[in-house]
Amino acid sequence: MTKIRELVPVAIAVAMVSAIGLGASAADTAKAKADPLQFARGAKAWAKNCARCHNMRNAQDNTDEEWHVDVLHMRVRANIPGDVARDIKAFLQASNK
């Protein structure tokens, strides 16, 4: 009985790790399509999500590459869905010039 209990975390770990492989192959096939509405969606999602924990940071604070990394950092920290994060990133990258 205890043995089975000890195996539960192992099973969870194995399941999580094997999910990485699935995720990696899926992420590569998801190609970005030009989307004229993305900017507007991004602006809205930025206003809704990015002042929840701290003050809204200026778009000009970061280059495109920095936003590329940082929006993902925030996506993880704030549990923001990936598609919403991509919209926010597009908005910030278009607004930092």
Partner 1 sequence: MKAISYWGVAASMACAVSALGLSPTHAQSADQAQIIERLNTLQAELDALKKQLAETKKQADQSKEIAEKADNRAQKVELATDRVRANSWHMAGYADVGIEFSDGENSDTFTSGKFNPAFHFLYKDLVLFESEFQVTTSNTGETDLDLEYSQLDFLLHDNAVLVAGKFLSPVGQFQERLHPSWINRLTNAPAGFGHGGVQPLSDVGLMLRGGIPVADRLFTYSLAIGNGPRLGHDGVELEGFGRDDNSNKAISGRLAFFPIDNLEIGGSFLYAKITAAEDEEEADDDHDEGLILANEAPDSDNLEDLPLRDYDLWGVDAAFTQGSWDIRAEYLNANLKGLGDADDNHGDVVEPLSWEAWYAQAAYRLSGVSSSAFMQRLEPVVRYGEFITGGDHEAEEELNEKRWNFGLNYWVSPSVVVKSAIEFRNYMAEEREDDTRLQLQLSYGF
Binding site residues, ligand HEC, CB under 6 A: 49-50, 52-54, 57, 70-71, 73-74, 77-78, 80, 88
Nearer to ligand HEC, 18 or 58 (CB): 58
22 near partner 1, rule: CB under 8 A: yes
| Residue 90 touches which member of partner 1, ligand HEC, none, C-beta under 5-8 Å by kind | none
What is the contact mask toward partner 1 in residues 51 to 90, using x (rule: CB under 8 A)?
xxxxxxxx---xxxxx-xxx-xx-xxxxxxxxxx------
Cβ pair 24, 74 in contact under 8 A: no
1 near partner 1, rule: CB under 8 A: no
